[in-house]
Structure 1
Amino acid sequence: MLEFMDYVQTAFHAQSRWNIDNSYAALTTTAQNLLDFRIPQGLRLHVSSLSSPSFATSYTLGSNGLVDGSLSFLYSSSGLSIASKSSDIRLEHLVRGYRRLQELQRPDELHWNEIWHQGKRIDRKDALLYGRLYLPGSTLEALYLRRISPTRMLRLSGVSDASLPNGGSALALLQNDYGKYSTEYLYSTDSALLGLRGLYNFGYDPRTLVSQQPQHSTRAPAHPWDHQSGRLSAGAEAYFSPINKSGGVSCGLRFTTLPTHTGFPYTMTLTVNPLMGNLSTTYAVQAGRYMALCSRFDFNVYSYESDVVVGVELWRRKQAAADVAWASKLVRPGWSKVVEDDVNGVLKAQMDDKGKVGLLWECRVKELLVSLGAGFDLKKRERMLGSVGIEVSYSS
């Protein structure tokens, strides 16, 4: 389940019209959400608040052998109009599950966001500042986001910890999203790492849209791929450290269905690391409105080692079908509102070929959000149960 600060950062991206899925780094996000979910460790309590549309705070207290915690603060120059009470936030906005990608959008024109007053521009570029202090170790991490232009975002992050080399590290990431394709340039002070990523989407080019205003956009003459029910994307990354004189490359493909697809939504990916000889394929399908399945197969061409992981995600409905049918009768034919089933819980499970099993139950209990998880190793008969934990979150 997303922590409150991650939920606010996601809202910042959405409000500033930044597509977090149009990136090579997000190529396998769907499979990671279904197979690599985090299992809580020990007992942890989160208390958060969005005191104003631009300022949020969060406090965490945990106990996993010893008492620890953290203090978090976040500021957004753009006021965020989002639900902040834990009882009001939809569970679908907090649980990372199967991701249904939308049609690509044309980037905003530069002049759309300009605000002039008495011959002077008074508009500001959206920015977000986040900081978190971990106790008792006094580790500090920080994040700064700034929308430089409608197609560009700057991301600066850093961590300060006496146990790290040079007392910490910083990462600068410049992201460019043109709809049809995206690029990323990164630099890390850790070993002076330099990196480049890119993602290209086959099909129509959203930049060919003809528009008078951002609220009223129409497409140019139809392209043969305009009405596709799926999208194929290809990307690659390369990085190099001049200090360690080492580097790496990887490339990947993703095919995912779009909202126009009439069958079950599904996503397939293939990633290859030629230097290490690693190959990974994933397949995820939303088999029903309340169920998703996923599998991943990893293989190394040098050692012939392989790994297989399968996972499932099941949502628990909040309302019975009869209640929804009764409620739908109250909706007039002319209304655009759609009555939908709500959910109040989700069960995630994954298992690999080594006999390791992970279970996670996330739900809402009155005003609280609860995550309960456990890990098992079926090959260890004497100590089959591994890590167990529970997290409780409340926000206002």
Structure 2
Amino acid sequence: MLEFMDHVRAAFYAQSAWNVDNSYASLTTTAHNLLDFRIPNGIRLHISSLSSPNFATSYTLGSTGVVDGSLSFLYSSLGLHFKSKSRNVHLGNVVSGYRQLRELHKHERLAQELMGYDGAETQKKKDSLLYGRLYLPGSTLEALYLRRISPTSLLRLNCVSDDSLPNGGTLLALLQNDNGKYSHEYLYSTDSSLFGVRGLYNFGYDPRFPLLRPSGRRPAHPWDHQNGRLSIGAEAYFSPVNKSGGISTGLRFTTLPIHTGFPYTMTLTVNPLMGNLSSTYAVKAGPNLALCSRFDFNVYSYESDVVLGLELWQRRQTSPEVAWAKELVKPGWEMAHDTNGALKARVDNHGRVGLSWECRIKELLVSFGAGLNLKKRDSVLASVGMEFSYSS
């Protein structure tokens, strides 16, 4: 389940019209959500508040053998308006699961729809977000700075201050550019002076040059109403300090909302230097069920791994009359308002099992999870934990 500050940052991306899915880094987000979900360890309590549309705070207290915690503060120049109270928040927005991608839009038009600005104001608008988190008792400090420097560009700075790190900390700078049809990013890390670049290209319809609809003088582009989208991308990075680098490439095909069958997403990523190949397939098999599989293979060692996972939503029982009425409402209404919780499960070929149940109890968001190792008869239960979150 997303922590409160992650939920706030997601609202900032949405209200500033930034598409987090149009990036090479998000190529395998769906598989990651369904197969690599986090399992709580120990007991942890989160208390958060959106005291104003521009300011949020969060406090965490946990126990994993020793008592630890953190203090978080966030400021956004863009007023954020979303359901922040834990009793009202949509579970579908805080439980990361199957991601249904939307059609590509022209940035200026999307910004007008979401924020109500005209074109000139959108060009001048440069919203920013500041976030800081202090971990206790170790006094590790984490900071994040986001800046929308243009309708198609985003600057991101991540900083960590910790005495255990070389030079006492590290800084990661990331400049992202999203033009809809394609996106590219440049990054630099003070850790080993790492430089990197990555990009993503979407085949088919180009939102920057929309053609007239069939009612116009020219026919619509055959990709204008496509059922799916094929994307291909790559990344490369190099460290002059370590004199080492790496490259990877990948592709993704996913269905779009106009697709009339089951939504599904397929990805393939390749790291030629390390010899690693990874393929995933995820399908939304029904309104309450999503399934996913991942196959990893190394061409040098011939080692392979298989992971299977599912996400199952529990909904409240409704009368046939109410259920019929909800069919007339936009898709996703039931997921947002009539869900009791979500069960996630995964298992791999090494006998490792992960279970997670995320739900709402009264005014609390609750996440319970356990990790099992079926091949260790003497210690099958590897980890177990529970988290409680309250926000106002």
Question: Match of 1:215?
Answer: none
For residues 343 and 356 of structure 1, the distance between their equivalents in structure 2, rounded to whole angstroms, comes to 28
Question: Match of 1:256?
Answer: 254
Question: Match of 1:93?
Answer: 93
Could you say what secondary structure the match of 1:203 adopts? coil
Could you say what secondary structure the match of 2:284 adopts? strand
The RMSD of aligned alpha carbons is 2.2
In the TM superposition, residue 115 of structure 1 has moved relative to its aligned partner by: 4.4
For residues 337 and 184 of structure 1, the distance between their equivalents in structure 2, rounded to whole angstroms, comes to 33
Question: Match of 2:170?
Answer: 169
Aligned partner of 2:309 among 308, 311, 315: 311
In the TM superposition, residue 124 of structure 1 has moved relative to its aligned partner by: 4.3
Is 2:357–2:368's contact at 8 Å kept on the other side of the alignment? yes
1:353 to 2:349 alignment: yes
Question: Match of 1:214?
Answer: none
Could you say what secondary structure the match of 2:108 adopts? coil
Question: Match of 1:135?
Answer: 136
Q: Give the % identical residues.
A: 72
Change (3 A) 1:312 1:85: same
Is 1:350–1:358's contact at 8 Å kept on the other side of the alignment? yes
Change (3 A) 1:380 1:231: same
For residues 332 and 233 of structure 2, the distance between their equivalents in structure 1, rounded to whole angstroms, comes to 37
For residues 178 and 3 of structure 2, the distance between their equivalents in structure 1, rounded to whole angstroms, comes to 26
Change (3 A) 1:100 1:321: farther
For residues 82 and 274 of structure 1, the distance between their equivalents in structure 2, rounded to whole angstroms, comes to 43
In the TM superposition, residue 223 of structure 1 has moved relative to its aligned partner by: 1.2
Is 2:211–2:220's contact at 8 Å kept on the other side of the alignment? no
Aligned partner of 1:365 among 347, 351, 361: 361
Could you say what secondary structure the match of 1:58 adopts? strand
Aligned partner of 1:380 among 337, 356, 376: 376
Question: Match of 2:8?
Answer: 8
Is 1:324–1:339's contact at 8 Å kept on the other side of the alignment? no
Is 1:327–1:339's contact at 8 Å kept on the other side of the alignment? no
Is 1:209–1:219's contact at 8 Å kept on the other side of the alignment? no
Deviates more, 1:171-180 or 1:225-234: 225-234
Q: Deviations over 1:219-240 (max 9, x none)?
A: 9851122221010000000000
Is 1:72–1:132's contact at 8 Å kept on the other side of the alignment? yes
Question: Match of 1:266?
Answer: 264
For residues 177 and 378 of structure 2, the distance between their equivalents in structure 1, rounded to whole angstroms, comes to 52
1:186 to 2:187 alignment: yes
Q: Deviations over 1:292-316 (max 9, x none)?
A: 0000000000000000000010000
In the TM superposition, residue 113 of structure 1 has moved relative to its aligned partner by: 4.9
For residues 227 and 106 of structure 1, the distance between their equivalents in structure 2, rounded to whole angstroms, comes to 15
For residues 25 and 219 of structure 2, the distance between their equivalents in structure 1, rounded to whole angstroms, comes to 32
In the TM superposition, residue 84 of structure 1 has moved relative to its aligned partner by: 1.1
Change (3 A) 1:124 1:266: closer
Is 1:210–1:219's contact at 8 Å kept on the other side of the alignment? no
For residues 170 and 207 of structure 2, the distance between their equivalents in structure 1, rounded to whole angstroms, comes to 38
Change (3 A) 1:197 1:134: same
TM value normalised by structure 2 = 0.93
Unaligned runs of 5+ in 2: 112-116
Question: Match of 1:23?
Answer: 23
Change (3 A) 1:299 1:49: same
Change (3 A) 1:338 1:40: closer
In the TM superposition, residue 319 of structure 1 has moved relative to its aligned partner by: 3.6
Question: Match of 2:279?
Answer: 281
Is 1:209–1:220's contact at 8 Å kept on the other side of the alignment? no
Is 1:324–1:340's contact at 8 Å kept on the other side of the alignment? no
Aligned length: 381
Question: Match of 2:114?
Answer: none
Is 1:84–1:395's contact at 8 Å kept on the other side of the alignment? yes
1:389 to 2:385 alignment: yes
The amino acid that maps onto 1:197 is R
In the TM superposition, residue 321 of structure 1 has moved relative to its aligned partner by: 5.0
Unaligned runs of 5+ in 1: 212-217
Could you say what secondary structure the match of 1:10 adopts? helix
In the TM superposition, residue 382 of structure 1 has moved relative to its aligned partner by: 1.1
Question: Match of 1:340?
Answer: 334
